[in-house]
Chain A
Amino acid sequence: EPEVTQTPSHQVTQMGQEVILRCVPISNHLYFYWYRQILGQKVEFLVSFYNNEISEKSEIFDDQFSVERPDGSNFTLKIRSTKLEDSAMYFCASSVLRDTQYFGPGTRLTVL
């Protein structure tokens, strides 16, 4: 069964450094998403992406964040200058249409 994959599974970085989180969505899916979950809190929407542009973003997704689909299979989330409060699990998700979203296993980001 096709699934969303994410790399790395765990990323440790120093405050102020740039990080790129990578995702390979399910191959025939057209919509791509990033969510995050701070430890012990709810899953929060960051951004959705369709047809090579952002279709919706939350207040969390400020100028420090960007997304890109650099080729036909990868979808990335870049955080330009990480802060302590960016420490969280980051989940990539994809969907065929704007419907059921399938999530990846997540990348745990730790900012020191």
Chain B
Amino acid sequence: EDQVTQSPEALRLQEGESSSLNCSYTVSGLRGLFWYRQDPGKGPEFLFTLYSAGEEKEKERLKATLTKKESFLHITAPKPEDSATYLCAVRSTGTASKLTFGTGTRLQVTL
């Protein structure tokens, strides 16, 4: 069974204070690892897809990296508008198309 574990559960940063969120996964074979952002009461908003170890993707202040066992979402010089829950999900070779999600990291960025 596919498993996704995210840490920390919650993170509070000051504006400009860079940090990383972790996503550890256990799958039979990885078909894709996905990062989403979720605001309260809203649907997950797609950020990145990573397919193989060593791959990196970047968008504004966010950078996602992937190893064989985990992924990191690096946030550089965050702003208050980056406050949200960040979700990690995997699609494995053991399934047709379903995504298995972690519980997310709740990020709060203060002035």
Task: Give A contacts to B, CB under 8 Å.
Answer: 4, 31, 33, 35, 41-45, 48, 50, 55-56, 58, 89, 91, 95, 98-106, 108
Contact = CB atoms under 8 A, between A and B. Distances in A.
Summarize A's interface: helix, strand, loop or mixed. Answer: strand
Given A56-B95, A91-B43, A91-B44, A103 B36 contact: yes
Interface of B: 31-32, 34, 36, 41-46, 49, 87, 89, 91, 95-104
Contact of B99 (A4, A55, A101, A104): A101
Contacts of A31: 97
A42 to B, nearest CB: 5
A36 to B, nearest CB: 11
24 contacts: A4-B43, A33-B97, A35-B99, A41-B103, A42-B104, A43-B44, A43-B87, A43-B101, A44-B101, A45-B98, A48-B96, A55-B96, A55-B97, A56-B95, A89-B41, A91-B44, A98-B97, A100-B32, A100-B46, A102-B46, A103-B36, A103-B46, A104-B43, A106-B41
